[in-house]
Amino acid sequence: PSPLPPLSCGSGLSGDYISEEGHYWIGMDISPAMLDVAVEREVEGDLLLADVGHGIPFRPGMFDGCISISAVQWLCNADKKSHSPPKRLYRFFSTLYTALARGSRAVLQLYPENAEQLELITAQAMRAGFTGGMVVDYPNSTKAKKFFLCLFVGVSGTLPKGLGTECADGEEMHQAKFTNERTRFRNTKGKSVKKSRDWILEKKERRRRQGKEVRADTKYTGRKRRPRF
C-alpha cells in the first residue's frame, strides 16, 4: 500500500495508531524539537522537517490518504512579513492534492478562530481541486465540538455524520454546515467573537490539551467587567 502522511506529526503519537493499523506513514513537522522526541520514541514512520506552508514535497500520486490534527489553522497566521495566509494555504492544498492518489481522502481536524478562517481554509481547498466539506462533531457542545475538513481527490465522496448529531429520540439533528457556522459567528452585530464566553472556554480547553496551566472555569469566566466609577 501507499504511505500515509500525518501533517504536523509532532512527536508521532498519531503515527503510533497508524502503524498499529498496518499502514506505513511519513510524518512532517516544522518543529525540530518535536521530531527529536519522535526519534527518541523510535516511531516506525519516516520523519521530515518541513513547513507545510511551503508545500508537500513529494511526487504526484504517492499517498493514498492524509491526516492532520490541529495544524491547518496555523497557516492562517502571518508569522513573517513574507507570509500570505491565502497563498500559503493554496500552496499547501494544491501540492497535497497532487501528492494524493486519485480516489484518496484527506481528513484535517482543525480549531478555527472564527468564520473567516473557516471560509478562507475551505475556499483554498476547493480552489486546489478538492471536493468535500466540513463535518462537526458535537455541534451544540462547547468543550467537545471539533471541526473536520473532509476532502476527496478526483471523485466526490459521502461525508461522514458528525458525532453527537442525533437527538435523544433517535432523530438526526441538522448537520452543521460551513455556511451555517459562518452565520453563527456573524450573529454578534459586528462585535468580535473573541470576546464571547464560548470562545474563551474553547481557547482554555485547547491550552489544557497542550499541557499548559489554565485557571479553572467558573461562572465568572467570560463575564464582562462593570465599568469603574
CATH, residue 119: 3.40.50.150
- Domain span at residue 58 reads 13-153
Residue 145 lies inside a defined structural domain of this protein: yes
pLDDT value at position 193? 57
Which residues 6+ apart lie within 8 Å of 188 measured at CB?
196
Residue 64 placed within a domain? yes
Cell readout for 109 is 481536524
Three-state DSSP class for residue 65: strand
- Categorise residue 6: left if φ over 0, alpha if ψ from -120 to 50, beta otherwise: beta
pLDDT along the chain (229 residues), means of 10: 72 87 90 92 91 92 92 86 87 96 94 90 94 91 90 86 68 43 41 64 79 82 68
Q: Is 191 domain-assigned?
A: no
150 CB contacts (<8 Å, ≥6 apart)?
105, 106, 107, 132, 133, 134, 135, 157, 159, 160
Flag whether 33 is in a domain. yes
Q: What is the pLDDT of residue 119?
A: 92
Residue 6 within any structural domain of the chain: no
Return the half-sphere exposure (C-beta side, CA atoms, 13 A cut-off) of residue 24.
7
pLDDT on residue 20: 87
Whose cell is 485557571? That residue is 215
CA distance 95 to 103: 16
What pLDDT is attached to residue 221? 81
Pairwise CA distance, residues 67 & 148, whole Å:
10
Q: What is the pLDDT of residue 12?
A: 87
Q: Does 125 fall in a domain?
A: yes
Q: For residues 74 and 53, give the distance between their C-alpha atoms in angstroms, rounded to a whole number.
A: 9
pLDDT in tens, 42-51: 988 899 999 9
Task: Please write the tens of the pLDDT for every residue from 51-89.
Answer: 999 999 999 999 999 999 989 999 998 777 777 899 999
The DSSP letter of residue 175 is: P
Helix H or strand E segment including 177: none
pLDDT at position 227 is 62
The CA-to-CA distance between both ends of the chain, in Å, stands at 69
- This prediction's pTM: 0.68
138 found inside a domain: yes
Instruction: Count structural domains, the chain.
Output: 1
Q: Tally Cβ neighbours within 10 Å of residue 92.
A: 26
Q: What is the CA 172 to chain-centroid distance, rounded? A: 25
Q: For position 191, what pLDDT does the model report?
A: 39
Kindly state whether residue 188 falls inside one of the protein's structural domains: no
